[in-house]
Structure formats: C-alpha cells, structure tokens
Amino acid sequence: MKTEEQYFQEGRTIQAYMNEMSKLKEESFYVYENFQLPNDGLIEQLKGSSIHFLTITEDWCGDAMMINPVIRKIAEEADIDSRVTLRDQDTALIDRHLTNGGRAIPIVLILDAKGELIGKWGPRAPEVQKLVDQLRAPLPPKDDPTFQEKNKEVITILTEKYQHDESLWLYVYQSFMNEVLSLLRK
C-alpha cells in the first residue's frame, strides 16, 4: 500500500495541475488571481514549518475550483510544497480519507517533514457546507424525474458563488489555516 508521502512524491505541483486543467480552469484562475491573503500574521506562522500539502482533487469539481487556488496562494506565500493527486486515477488514497462514507473532494492532506500524515482538511469550510446544505435542502429525492434538472440549477448557482463570492474564499482560508496551525501547535 502506497503511503501519502509516496502519492505526494508522484504528484504534480499545484501550479502544474492548475495550468493543465481541462474543466473549470478559467473560474479557478479567476479565484487565484483575485483572492488576496489577509494580512493577519497567519502566513508568517507557517513560514519555516516543515510541512507539505497533498490535495486529492479533480478539475470537474466546483468545490476544488474555489478551494485549490486558495490553498495554492497559502502554499506559495508560506513557501510550502503543495502537490496534487487525482481522486479518480487511484481511489485507494481517497478511500482512506472518506467524508461521511463518500469520496468528497478536495481533501488536503497535511504531511510533516518525514512525510507522515499529521492531519487533513476538507472538503469544505463549515460556512460553505452550510450554504451547500441550504441550496440542496429543497431538492427532490434523487429518483424524482426533476432531480437532475434542479440539481444542475443548484450546481450553477454554487459555481457562480464559488467563483465570485469573496467571503466564501475567506471562509476556506480561515478554516484551513485554523486546522494547519492547530496541528503545528501539537
């Protein structure tokens, strides 16, 4: 069984991954180009740490479209190596990091200097999850003939919000940074 560190070593840099995206690329780069890291001192706390990030993702995922650019900005600013592995290419890794029994993405694995898994974050900040739950609550059951159409409408709304609602970007930043910094304090 491959370790998380082996997946990391085989992974592409987050920069290469984003440059090679075939879906949601423009939207993802919009977030990357417009997200401004807060001047809150948190990045300085990460600098010099010996951690690195491995993100399990796919370019068709709306959550990843918003989250990966935020993680990339954090990693670049703090000089942390951040790499990507694709969920669907090898499901053995995601199957070790399920969310409520599902293969939800993105999942960011936080590894120490030895490559040991010390924590993980994802697939969403709590505030973003609340928004998703609110938008999905009125959906009919999956076997309802209108489900596909109504679900597509929800996805369109979420994609628009993920791309343009800067408060969602900040929720991701704050949630992720809180997790990483709590791990570093242990």
Domains of the chain and any CATH numbers = 4-124+166-184 (3.40.30.10)
pLDDT tens profile 60-117: 999 999 999 999 999 999 999 999 999 999 999 999 999 999 999 999 999 999 999 9
Rounded CA separation 173/41 (Å): 13
Question: Within 10 A of 18 (CB to CB), how many other CB atoms are there?
Answer: 19
In degrees, rounded to 5, the angle at the alpha carbon of residue 89 between the alpha carbons of residues 87 and 93 is: 50
Yes or no: say if 76 and 35 are a contact pair by the CB < 8 Å rule.
no
Helix locations, 38-184, DSSP H: 42-46, 62-78, 91-94, 126-136, 147-164, 166-184
Share of the chain above pLDDT 90, in %: 97
Average pLDDT for the chain? 97
The secondary structure of residue 102, as a DSSP letter, is B
